[in-house]
Amino acid sequence: MARINRGGYGLSVASALVYFFLYAPIAVLVIFSFNRSRLSARWLGFTTEWYGALWRNEQIFQSLLNSLIVALAVTLVCVVAGTLAALVSARTRWRGRAWLDGVVYLPLVIPEIVIAVAMVVFFSLVHLNLSIWTIIIAHITFCISYVIIVVGARLGGADPSLQEAALDLGANEWTAFRRVTLPLAAPGILSAALLVFTTSFDDYLITSFVSGVSSTTLPLEIYSQLKRGITPEINAISSAILLATIPLVFIAQRLERGTLKLRGALAGVTGVFFLMAAPLVARTWPTERNLPQLNLYMWSTYVSPRVVHGFEREFHCKVNYDLYDSNEALLAKLQGGNVDYDLVVPTDYTLEILIQQHLLAPLDKSRLPNVWANLDPRFRNLACDPRDEYGVPYAWGTTGLAYRSDLVKEKVDSWDVMFDPRYAGHILLLDDTREVFGMALKKLGYSLNSTNPEEILRARDLLVAEKPLVKGYNSSNFEQDLVAGDAWIAQAYNGNLTFAMRDEPNIRYVIPKEGCTISVDLIAIPRNAPHKELAHEFINYFHRPEVAGAFVNDSGFNSPNRFVARGVEPWILAQPAIFPPPDSLAKCEFMHDLGPVVALYDRYWTEIKAR
């Protein structure tokens, strides 16, 4: 043995490094949950304020509750159905066995994304409304096999003569199952249950495809927070969950080695569960469940707690919101025809598509007096909705050029800078087909609504040539890349920059001289919205000047309400990026839906990204 043990030193060092690799991110996570700085990497002192903020964050607790409900339901169904199937797969020899194994193993070996897309087209086909139920169904589908396999392996390893002995001794099948087979299988069942629970609890990919009205789970919430860049609270909740799961891992491990009695394990699991559920119950207890509900589906950057809470208090209802970060994601969900949102906030050209596809309900104008009194006339009768029938302008902005004036040491006033090899690797584009093409078309001197295939092809060639200079495509938290110095130049929605410019005064925003997009997001009511009355109330409420002001203060985006300035904090009013002088918009163009030509844009976009 001594001979074999020589050279163990190198092995230990190598392993220590691997463990360091495994734990470095977790250490960062925990340490930064106590960091005073809101922005990632700089340490600005110790604080526990993020844990306090977490405690007050209703949205996170709601999503945690959803996640627990989903994971529990999935575990329950999978364990019962899976164990029954495992009894057969472990014991019986029959002709269909190979087929059965094939069907059972398939969900585990098929890439997750394929299951996700199969689910989403199927739910649309059978008109199953996307909700917490579709998440549960999808999760059961990819989790049930774990139980069949793990429990099957456990039973397969057990001696069948034990059960026979029980039967010989006069027990009937039920008693033999209860007294012999079940105790034999129990550790397998419990560890399969833990596996299913965590897999379901942590799933993002499939959930993101099949989630619907007010069914945002914790991973979805974390993802949209990551995209919005509210980071320390996420670190805090992850640290808290990590702390809660360590005992679970410990129990699972002990069970597998058989050093833990089943009763102890069950007690442990239950204990951990109550520890997790207690703050949840305490936190969500006071909210009344019988209130009328209003379900919003909106941009992740438009979250404004003040607007939502004000409305909830005044109209005695509960507002649930789910978030998206591209118009295409919104379209994809609505076109499936199986979600019931009460309000959506598409951008002008997407509103056109929704109108043409008859996916929106006409507005009852008589219920919206605030809108007609306070809406800036510039935003009335827009080309996307000429008679103001379907959408009410909610926010507006421009898509221009942002840069770090300390890193780019020249006058920036043109899209040219995006194509300058000196800035290779520091340029960020939006992950948005029409905006990126809009930039290229404008630079070439065309309209950003070009339907001329030759012009579009030239724009494509320009973008292909530019790709080596591009650091990445990001349309949701590019401002963080600017603040952190990862990007020097970025194509940017102006509203995203409001708070970034306060944190990092070197960030500048210009409307390039070639022109750029001006866009309006409009709030609209889907055709099959269940709560149309309350939806109208919300639109009308939103156009009170003080509410519009609160929205601007929270989101950083400008409002089309002409009296909004009354309620906006002075430092935001002073930002020309958000409140631009009207003449600077002369060269800006609204985007329009281009009908069939969009397919060409989409195809070229795939080609550009593929390179």
Quick one: which segment of 383-391, 468-476, 522-530, 535-543 binds another protein (CB under 8 A)?
468-476
- Identify the residue among 44, 165, 182, 246 touching another protein (CB under 8 A): 246
Question: What whole-number distance in Å separates Cα of residue 83 and Cα of residue 87?
Answer: 6
Helix (H, G, I), strand (E, B) or coil at 339: coil
Question: What whole-number distance in Å separates Cα of residue 455 and Cα of residue 212?
Answer: 39
Interface with another protein, residue 41, by CB under 8 A: yes
Near another protein in 339-378, by CB under 8 A? 353, 356-357
- Complex with another protein: residue 519 or 561, whichever CB lies closer: 519
- Complex with another protein: residue 275 or 573, whichever CB lies closer: 275
Interface with another protein, residue 258, by CB under 8 A: no
Interface with another protein, residue 456, by CB under 8 A: no
Min dist. Cβ of residue 39 to another protein (A)? 9
Containing 487, the helix (H) or strand (E) segment is none
Interface with another protein, residue 50, by CB under 8 A: no
Interface with another protein, residue 610, by CB under 8 A: yes
**Beta strands 427-429 and 470-473: pairing type?**
parallel
Interface with another protein, residue 247, by CB under 8 A: no
**Beta strands 517-524 and 391-404: pairing type?**
antiparallel
Question: What whole-number distance in Å separates Cα of residue 4 and Cα of residue 79?
Answer: 44
Interface with another protein, residue 596, by CB under 8 A: yes
Annotate 400-443 with DSSP letters as a single string.
Answer: EEEEETTTS-S---SGGGGG-GGGTT-EEE-S-HHHHHHHHHHH
Interface with another protein, residue 238, by CB under 8 A: yes
Interface with another protein, residue 144, by CB under 8 A: yes
Min dist. Cβ of residue 111 to another protein (A)? 3
How far is the CA of 597 from the CAs of 284, 358, 457, 588, in angstroms?
49, 20, 12, 22
What tokens were used for 518?
């001006």
Question: What whole-number distance in Å separates Cα of residue 28 and Cα of residue 235?
Answer: 9
- Identify the residue among 184, 284, 451, 472 touching another protein (CB under 8 A): 472
- Identify the residue among 209, 394, 423, 551 touching another protein (CB under 8 A): 209
- Identify the residue among 72, 101, 112, 158 touching another protein (CB under 8 A): 112
Task: Encode burial over 181-190: b for 16+ CB neighbours within 10 A, e otherwise.
Answer: beebbbbbbb
User: In this structure, which amino acid lies at residue 608?
Assistant: I
Min dist. Cβ of residue 484 to another protein (A)? 5
Min dist. Cβ of residue 46 to another protein (A)? 17
How far is the CA of 356 from the CAs of 328, 376, 405, 525, 581, in angstroms?
16, 26, 44, 14, 34
- Identify the residue among 37, 40, 284, 449 touching another protein (CB under 8 A): 40
Near another protein in 393-432, by CB under 8 A? 425, 428, 431
- Complex with another protein: residue 551 or 605, whichever CB lies closer: 605
- Identify the residue among 68, 70, 74, 115 touching another protein (CB under 8 A): 115
Using an 8 Å Cβ cutoff, are 176 and 170 in contact? no
Near another protein in 77-106, by CB under 8 A? 80-82, 84-85, 87-88, 92, 94, 100, 103-104, 106
- Complex with another protein: residue 172 or 584, whichever CB lies closer: 172
Question: What whole-number distance in Å separates Cα of residue 486 and Cα of residue 234?
Answer: 21
Q: Alpha helices of 211-230 — where are they, by DSSP H?
A: 218-228
Question: What whole-number distance in Å separates Cα of residue 489 and Cα of residue 427?
Answer: 5
Please count the residues of this chain forming the interface with another protein, following the rule CB under 8 A: 120
Annotate 439-486 with DSSP letters as a single string.
Answer: HHHHHTTS-TT---HHHHHHHHHHHHHHGGGEEEE-SSSHHHHHHTTS
- Complex with another protein: residue 231 or 450, whichever CB lies closer: 231
Kindly report the length of the chain. Answer: 611
Min dist. Cβ of residue 2 to another protein (A)? 11
> Quick one: CA torsion of 577, 583, 588, 593, rounded to 10 degrees?
100
**Beta strands 489-493 and 391-404: pairing type?**
antiparallel
Min dist. Cβ of residue 204 to another protein (A)? 6
- Complex with another protein: residue 147 or 395, whichever CB lies closer: 147
Contact code string over 295-324 relative to another protein, x by CB under 8 A:
------------------------------
- Identify the residue among 44, 182, 205, 291 touching another protein (CB under 8 A): 205
- Identify the residue among 470, 500, 520, 572 touching another protein (CB under 8 A): 470
Min dist. Cβ of residue 311 to another protein (A)? 30
- Identify the residue among 183, 271, 362, 485 touching another protein (CB under 8 A): 485
Min dist. Cβ of residue 123 to another protein (A)? 8
Contact code string over 18-37 relative to another protein, x by CB under 8 A:
xx-xxxxxx-xx--x-----
Residue ranges with strand state E in 469-574: 470-473, 489-493, 507-510, 517-524
- Complex with another protein: residue 385 or 388, whichever CB lies closer: 385
- Complex with another protein: residue 153 or 317, whichever CB lies closer: 153
* Tokens 């109108």, residue located: 355
Interface with another protein, residue 434, by CB under 8 A: no
Interface with another protein, residue 179, by CB under 8 A: no
Interface with another protein, residue 5, by CB under 8 A: yes
Q: Is 593 left (phi over 0), alpha (psi -120 to 50) or beta?
A: beta
- Identify the residue among 60, 74, 140, 448 touching another protein (CB under 8 A): 140
How far is the CA of 126 from the CAs of 17, 119, 129, 208, in angstroms?
51, 11, 9, 19
- Complex with another protein: residue 5 or 290, whichever CB lies closer: 5
Interface with another protein, residue 602, by CB under 8 A: yes
- Complex with another protein: residue 125 or 267, whichever CB lies closer: 125
- Identify the residue among 58, 160, 172, 267 touching another protein (CB under 8 A): 172
How many helices (H) and strands (E) would you count in the chain?
Answer: 26, 9
Q: Is 127 left (phi over 0), alpha (psi -120 to 50) or beta?
A: left
User: In this structure, which amino acid lies at residue 487?
Assistant: A
- Complex with another protein: residue 146 or 379, whichever CB lies closer: 146
Eight-state DSSP code of residue 561: B
Eight-state DSSP code of residue 131: S
Question: What whole-number distance in Å separates Cα of residue 265 and Cα of residue 273?
Answer: 12
- Complex with another protein: residue 426 or 443, whichever CB lies closer: 426
Min dist. Cβ of residue 575 to another protein (A)? 24
* Tokens 């043990």, residue located: 5
